């Protein structure tokens, strides 16, 4: 039997009720981690916990709105109370609003909501998570950015794109600040995925094809493929990796034109 890559580690994953967060929670548990599934959706979060426990893993659910400081402080405290420490903080929770468009058409409320969850949520996770990682002797923070932090999106989504650029910049700065404290901070940048989040946004065949034409692999990625990237960043295998923009994007950021 192969050794488990996260044996004896405690991982807190936000937005773990669906998509990348759910797949990462399942995978981290398979690899030996005790997982705190944090989500604003009680039903989805509990289902993830049930699946982990059904597979013989260890997990607990904590309801959290990552845009609220009190919720972020309490979810970290819950992790330490339940398992005695925190080794991995995966700031995954995020939204892509259906009314997010260009600067002219996007409402201020949509912009503020997007920044509140996608950027402030990462900031608050780090604000309360970093002291816990220090108490554990160090650890790994993984922030979900996006390929649109590197490239402009073909389909306008200005609030989302701005938020993911902010996540990437924040990740770099935190990585430098905490590098000598045995705390690694990396951003994972997924390409377009076949997740509920993106499919709700690309809600017509024309919108999907407009995105697909830019991906050299010619398909959307799967959430599980991002989870494997996150597993590397969570594990001790990435012990010399910090401040990175870890692109898992089907080649979209490498392409000038796509192959025929």
pLDDT at 258: 56
The pLDDT confidence band at residue 175, using thresholds 50, 70 and 90, is very high
Q: Rounded to an integer, what distance in angstroms lies between the CA atom of residue 112 and that of residue 81?
A: 33
160 an active-site residue? yes
pLDDT at 50: 98
Q: Whose CA is closest to 52, among 13, 78, 92? A: 13
Asked whether residue 198 carries a pLDDT value surpassing 80, the answer given is: no
pLDDT at 152: 86
Query: pLDDT for 51-72, tens place per residue?
Result: 999 999 999 999 999 999 999 9
In terms of residues, how long is the chain?
Answer: 260
Asked whether residue 211 carries a pLDDT value surpassing 80, the answer given is: no
pLDDT at 244: 98
pTM of the model: 0.94
Asked whether residue 200 carries a pLDDT value surpassing 80, the answer given is: no
Please give the domain boundaries of the chain with CATH numbers for all domains.
10-250 (3.40.50.720)
Instruction: Give the active site residue among 128, 160, 228, 256.
Output: 160
With vertex at residue 200, the alpha carbon angle to CA 196 and CA 205, rounded to the nearest 5 degrees, is 110
Burial of 207 (0-12, 13-18, 19+ CB in 10 A): middle
Q: Whose CA is closest to 91, among 233, 220, 195, 192? A: 233
pLDDT at 114: 97
Q: How far is residue 142 CA from its own chain's centroid?
A: 7
Asked whether residue 259 carries a pLDDT value surpassing 70, the answer given is: no
Q: How far is residue 11 CA from its own chain's centroid?
A: 13
């Amino acid at each position: 039997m192969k050794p488990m890559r996260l044996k004896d580690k405690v991982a807190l994953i936000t937005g773990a009720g669906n998509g990348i967060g759910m797949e990462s929670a399942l995978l981290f548990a398979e690899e030996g981690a005790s997982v705190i599934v944090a989500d604003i959706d009680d039903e989805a979060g509990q289902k993830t916990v049930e699946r982990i426990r059904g597979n013989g893993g260890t997990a607990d659910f904590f309801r959290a709105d990552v845009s609220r400081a009190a919720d972020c402080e309490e979810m970290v405290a819950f992790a330490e109370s339940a398992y005695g420490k925190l080794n991995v903080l995966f700031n995954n929770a995020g939204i892509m609003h259906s009314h997010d468009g260009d600067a002219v058409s996007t409402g201020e409320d949509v912009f503020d909501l997007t920044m509140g969850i996608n950027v402030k949520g990462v900031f608050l996770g780090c604000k309360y998570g970093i002291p816990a990682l220090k108490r554990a002797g160090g650890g790994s923070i993984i922030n979900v950015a996006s390929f649109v932090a590197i490239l402009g999106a073909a389909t306008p989504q200005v609030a989302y794109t701005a938020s993911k650029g902010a996540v990437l910049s924040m990740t770099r700065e935190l990585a430098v600040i905490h590098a000598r404290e045995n705390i690694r901070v990396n951003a994972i940048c997924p390409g377009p995925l076949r997740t509920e989040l993106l499919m709700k946004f690309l809600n017509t065949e024309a919108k999907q094809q407009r995105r697909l034409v830019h991906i050299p692999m010619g398909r959307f990625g799967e959430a599980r493929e991002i989870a494997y990237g996150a597993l590397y960043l969570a594990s001790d295998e990435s012990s010399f990796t910090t401040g990175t923009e870890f692109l898992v994007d089907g080649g979209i950021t490498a392409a000038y034109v796509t192959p025929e």
